[in-house]
Amino acid sequence: MEWRGKIGLAIGVGMMVVAAGLVLASVQNGTKKASDGIAIAGEARQGGLTVALPDAVAGVRVRKARLPGRPIVVIDPGHGGKDPGATGVSGSTQEKDLTLAMARELADLLEERGRVRVALTREGDRYLTLEQRAGIARRLQAGLFLSLHMDSAPNPLAKGATVYSLSDVASSEEAARFARAENAVDGALSSEENDSVRALLADVALREQMEDSAGLAERLLRRAAGRVELRPRPHQFAAFHVLRRTETPAVLIEAGYISNADDEAMLQTREGRAPLVLALAQAVEADVATRGQR
């Protein structure tokens, strides 16, 4: 709701400036007509909207591809700002910093290879709701959406990467629990979870989105196999709001467990993240190329 709040604030501030101006005007010129005030207020309202609305996406930089018209891949570094995500076992790392570092590396690599356009949902340490993240993908009409996360578990031995794709039925109790935790970040969305997921079951577009998302997850895991440590059942399914609301093939990647000392050490360095970043870039390009031929 952040950008809506900004619009409200912009209108509010605009109206206050206008009101102050009117008071001043009426002091300076007692004959000023009420109709002047309405015209000024209208402009202020319009001004507030025209400044605030594009800002929500204007803050998102789309990096160009070598050829024009290439699909836009939106990379979403999980968490940010007041929401740090998981804390590493060392106590010195936070999920929000690692996801941002990894997202930047992936965006740089994709930009360098030049086959897709790339945008990040956040470029800095900024809080975004899940709806805002998905909204960026919708408004950019993204061809793919990747949400990057790092896991944490009570068992310090749990390690390896997992890829989640959207489904109405969770693949395991753990996947369901994880989706509930991620969805709970947006209190406003989680209350409508069951009804809206059920209502959308009949939605053909959603079915297609789920199938394409599962295809992307499988492709990514094939690229990652042998190069990145994966969990025993690395492809999981769950009802993630952030994925559903993107309206495009979308996966959520848990790059590893920062509650595990080995995974944390690996994910803390660019070199440690590089094999997964490369697998992601290759899977994204292969996926876009395959769907472009359909």
Which residues, at least 6 apart from 54, have a Cβ–Cβ distance to it below 8 Å? Answer: none
Q: Which residue is nearest to Zn ion (CB)?
A: 149
Q: From the CB of 149, what's the least distance to Zn ion, in Å?
A: 3
**Residues near Zn ion (CB under 5 A), total:** 3
According to the 3-state scheme, what is the secondary structure of 19-42? Answer: HHHHHHHHHHCCCCCHHHHHHHHH
Residue number, 147 or 209, with CB nearest to Zn ion: 147
Residue number, 40 or 228, with CB nearest to Zn ion: 228
Q: What string marks each residue from 225 to 264 as x (binds Zn ion by CB under 5 A) or -?
A: ----------------------------------------
Residue closest to 150 by CA, chosen among 279, 257, 277: 257
Pairing of strands 72-77, 144-151: parallel
Q: What string marks each residue from 50 to 89 as x (binds Zn ion by CB under 5 A) or -?
A: ----------------------------x------x----
The amino acid present at 27, given as its one-letter code, is V
Q: From the CB of 102, what's the least distance to Zn ion, in Å?
A: 12
Residue number, 65 or 75, with CB nearest to Zn ion: 75
Check binding of 159 to Zn ion (CB under 5 A). no
Residue number, 143 or 257, with CB nearest to Zn ion: 257
- Summarize the chain as % helix, strand, coil (round to 5): 55, 15, 30
Check binding of 14 to Zn ion (CB under 5 A). no
Applying the rule CB under 5 A, the residues between 79 and 138 that interact with Zn ion are: 85
Residue number, 85 or 272, with CB nearest to Zn ion: 85
Check binding of 149 to Zn ion (CB under 5 A). yes
Residue 34 to residue 232: CA distance in whole angstroms: 72
Q: From the CB of 58, what's the least distance to Zn ion, in Å?
A: 26
Residue number, 131 or 285, with CB nearest to Zn ion: 131
Q: From the CB of 74, what's the least distance to Zn ion, in Å?
A: 17
Where would I find the beta strands (DSSP E) of the chain? Answer: 62-63, 72-77, 117-120, 144-151, 161-166, 230-238, 250-257
Residue 252 to residue 261: CA distance in whole angstroms: 22
Residue 91 to residue 108: CA distance in whole angstroms: 28
Residue 45 to residue 211: CA distance in whole angstroms: 44
Residue closest to 291 by CA, chosen among 248, 253, 258: 248
Residue number, 254 or 287, with CB nearest to Zn ion: 254
Q: Which residue ranges make up the site for Zn ion (CB under 5 A)?
A: 78, 85, 149
